[in-house]
Amino acid sequence: MADSATQDAPQVLAALRFGGDGLIPAMAQQHDSGEVLMLAWMNREAVTETLKTGRVCYWSRSRKQLWRKGESSGHIQRLVELRVDCDGDALLLLVDQNGVACHTGTRSCFFRAAHDGTLVEIQKPSGAAAPGETR
């Protein structure tokens, strides 16, 4: 599916419904294992750049700027396929995650689960340094 990355995006962008804040939620899923890694947000520019470069770029709502995933940590996400939902208001990114997805050091951001009414950790920080990692 390598041909699905590095592509121009006008037709794809036309199918997307961004929210009033100009953003659309995007889930990242490891393409081969199926593990859901994180949920973040994209604006039009982030989608365009992601499709053009084949490297996932989000919009950081806290920093209010483009967030090239892994730019400082080395934990980049290579885009394998970008999928759009029925209403055009959510994205599913099949990615190849380098190292860990979460800033806490866990592979997935979803490392807590509700068990018997309390949240328990179901995944620990891996501690494994990724190639090129700078933290």
83 belongs to the binding site for a copy of itself (CB under 8 A): yes
- For 121, half-sphere exposure in the C-beta direction (CA atoms, 13 angstrom radius) is 6
Cβ atoms of 130 and 98 within 8 Å: the answer is yes
Hey, which residues does 96 pair with through a beta bridge?
78
117 belongs to the binding site for a copy of itself (CB under 8 A): yes
Ramachandran quadrant class, 36 (left: phi over 0; alpha: psi -120 to 50; beta: rest)? beta
- In 3D, which of 39, 37, 16, 13 has the Cα closest to residue 26? 39
Q: How far is the CB of 120 from a copy of itself (least distance, A)?
A: 9
- In the set 48, 66, 85, 130, which binds a copy of itself (CB under 8 A)? 85
Q: How far is the CB of 101 from a copy of itself (least distance, A)?
A: 10
23 belongs to the binding site for a copy of itself (CB under 8 A): no
38 belongs to the binding site for a copy of itself (CB under 8 A): yes
Hey, which residues does 28 pair with through a beta bridge?
38, 93
- In 3D, which of 81, 80, 77 has the Cα closest to residue 98? 77
> What mask of x and - would describe binding to a copy of itself in positions 40 to 79, judged by CB under 8 A?
-----------x----------------------------
Taking the least distance from each CB to a copy of itself, the nearer of 15 and 131 is 15
Cβ atoms of 118 and 57 within 8 Å: the answer is no
- What residues make contact with a copy of itself under the rule CB under 8 A? 3-4, 7-12, 15, 25, 27, 29, 33-36, 38-39, 51, 81-87, 90, 92, 102-104, 106, 109-119, 122
